[in-house]
Amino acid sequence: MAAEARGEKYRVSSNPRLAFLGNQGRAARLLRGLAWRVERLTASAGAAPYDLVPGAGAFIAAVLLLLAAAFALDRPVASAMRHLPGPVTRFFEDITILGEGSVWLVPIAIVGFGLAWASFGGTSRESRARLVIRAERALFMFSAIGLPSLVTTLLKHLVGRMRPRYFETLGAFHFEPFSLAASKASFPSGHATTAAALIIAFGVVAPRWRSSVAVLAALVFLSRMAVEAHYVSDVLAGALIGIAGARAMRTLFARTRIGLRSRVLLGEPRPEAAISIPEGGMMQRWSRGDVADELLPENGLLPKPRLSIVVPMRNEAGNVGPLIEEIEHACAPLGSFEIICVDDGSRDATAARLVDIAKSYSNLRVFGHSVSCGQSAAVRTGVRAARATIVATLDGDGQNDPAFIPKLVEALETGGAAVGLVAGQRVGRKDAGFKKLQSRVANAVRGSILRDGTRDTGCGLKAFRREIFLELPYFDGLHRFLPALMRREGYGVRLVDVVDRPRRAGRSNYGLFDRLWIGILDLAGVWWLIRRRRRVPVVSNLRKDE
């Protein structure tokens, strides 16, 4: 967006992203720029619509979860909410309004419009571009909240479930479809949709506020039940729609580079060493075209090393240098190896540190995600770019000791083709008590359901065969279920005890929300995948190919 500032006229830019330049009226130019963005988003959604919706496994898991909540919790929770103390009920009555879509959509629209309008008065191209980015991010937040809310509104009137205040006379499962009455619009909860979408939206635009927004969302969820507006299953369904819709918008905006790729738009220096390839967590599905041809190992531009070491990093500027040096020292006996560091949308100097250090290490390759896509996406980005047949991974926080990598590689190689994964199991963990408790509970639940024979899947130290890894069904959170998925494909899994270390600098970047809220659905989905594959075929060639 350009403008006339201090009487000076700026030349019209050929970049359609800055389509508000020129001598036309500001409103007309603003609408033209908005129309261009909507057109790009629509075209991208139409070109690959299945990238925007959850897979069949996630959908089935969500349905099962909703059915379980409906039959087990709806009636008893609704009954209990009728006996809440008056002050508690009044507190939730005040809180519940924060789940109204209009409470958020109207201010976001005003702020977005104001930022776009202000971009006409910028004194430099960079200042105008920054305002454009902020306006585009406001458009993202509006879409991430508004579209799921629209879907929820249509569904609740289509389903026509009576609200909990009537359950004693009509029952918890009384439906009158195609009704516009507010009393018959219980399933799903629109407030829960808005609150859940806010978590995803703030996680992209303002990650530092995501924890606070998550707490607010939890209060909104409780308030909808406390004021007898929704059942547990209504709130859960609304939250799932909000998460799915907001994540779809995140994927769409990142894919079209609207608002979520600021470094590209602003033209900030990006050294050649910092090559960026599409982020797996955003793309959902990968194809050969998603990775530059020169990065694929079969092109033979560089000799294949014995080992590729993939290190996902997010806001780890203080750990980059020491960790790379440790990896170099620990893996020297292995011969040829490469280190692939993937910056997962860091907001600190991680990317700059990686690019700077890469000048001193010829075997260090650096990739980056424009926005954070999650640890699984970062690992898959690195594996896709790896040139060795064997890949080792470790976390970028320095808690995984690289000295154990040779031991993992040796166990994988001596195991032969029958072993697909060697996973580290941490002993003497140095995490805080609450984080260790989270991990123990998660591992116990996962182990009891999947029976994968692994007590610690959260350890980043792993070694596996690249080809097998890329054949596994990809989803966000894949790295937590590698043992179960490897066994599902018929490969053996070996376990090696490794010593955990305290974090050198920074703090954990993938928290409780990432492990718990979305992990529940992932667990159900992986269980379904395992159940559906009864037997791994053993294939033999009955007649030799001529």
Pull the structure tokens for residue 528: 């379904």
pLDDT of residue 474: 81
pLDDT of residue 427: 79
Residues 6+ apart with CB under 8 A from 143: 41, 249, 253
pLDDT of residue 130: 81
pLDDT in tens, the chain (546 residues): 333 333 333 333 444 444 434 435 778 888 888 898 999 899 888 887 877 888 788 889 899 999 999 999 999 999 999 999 999 999 999 999 999 999 999 999 999 999 988 888 766 777 888 888 889 999 999 999 999 999 999 999 999 999 998 888 888 999 999 988 988 999 999 999 999 999 999 988 888 888 899 999 999 999 999 999 999 999 999 999 999 999 999 888 887 878 875 332 322 333 333 333 333 322 223 333 333 333 344 444 456 899 999 999 999 988 999 999 999 999 998 888 999 999 998 888 899 999 999 888 889 999 999 888 888 889 999 999 999 999 999 999 888 999 999 999 999 999 988 899 999 988 765 555 555 565 666 666 655 566 666 767 778 899 999 999 998 888 777 777 888 888 888 888 999 988 888 777 666 655 444 455 455 666 666 667 666 665 666 676 676 655
Q: Is the peptide bond before 207 cis (omega within 30 degrees of 0)?
A: no
Picking from 296, 312, 283, the residue whose alpha carbon sits closest to that of residue 475 is 283
How far is the C-alpha of 144 from the C-alpha of 245, rounded, in Å? 6
8 A C-beta contact, residue 183 and residue 166: yes
CA 360 to chain centre: 32
Sign of CA dihedral 210, 216, 220, 223: positive
pTM: 0.53
CATH class of domain segment(s) 269-531: alpha beta
How far is the C-alpha of 461 from the C-alpha of 73, rounded, in Å? 39
Residue intervals of the chain classified under CATH 3.90.550.10 are 269-531
